[in-house]
């Protein structure tokens, strides 16, 4: 009589472990892949403009954003992209973005990640 109960319990526990493992893997993937699709697409489009609009550049640019995303978190990426954009503004406002230490650090992080992506993907 105990054998059927043990068998049912073993199947239940195996199923529970599978669900928990899947949840853990999904949570880790979500942490790693925190860049929204639109940000990834924008990066790839810009990269392709700079590197040619070919099938090879799609592969290389897609690889590049994956490497960047694996190195710096999305909020840091947004900060660096904002610095790049705002540094082009003339006058005092643009100057604050060009001369801020925090802005320079965010930009340096992005440039290092892009350099690593260049080595791995191009």
Q: What percent of the chain is predicted at pLDDT more than 90? A: 58
> The whole model's pTM is what?
0.70
Q: pLDDT tens, 62-114?
A: 999 999 999 999 999 999 999 999 888 888 877 777 778 998 999 999 999 99
The two tokens of residue 9 are 């319990």
Nearest one of 27, 17, 119, 112 to 71, comparing CA atoms? 112
Reduced to 3 states (helix: H, G, I; strand: E, B; else coil), residue 72 is coil
Nearest one of 109, 82, 108 to 97, comparing CA atoms? 82
N-term to C-term CA, the chain: 64
Residue 78's pLDDT is 97
Residue 105's pLDDT is 95
Residue 6's pLDDT is 43
């Amino acid at each position: 009589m105990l054998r059927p109960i043990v068998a049912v319990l073993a199947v239940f526990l195996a199923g529970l472990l599978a669900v928990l493992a899947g949840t853990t893997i999904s949570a880790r993937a979500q942490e790693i892949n925190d860049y929204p699709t639109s940000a990834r697409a924008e990066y790839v489009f810009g990269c392709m403009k700079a590197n040619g609009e070919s099938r090879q550049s799609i592969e290389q640019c897609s690889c590049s954003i994956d490497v960047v995303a694996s190195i710096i978190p999305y909020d840091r990426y947004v900060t660096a992209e904002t610095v790049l954009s705002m540094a082009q503004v003339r006058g005092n406002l643009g100057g604050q973005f060009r001369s801020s230490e925090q802005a320079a650090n965010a930009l340096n992080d992005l440039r290092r990640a892009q350099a690593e992506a260049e080595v791995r993907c191009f």
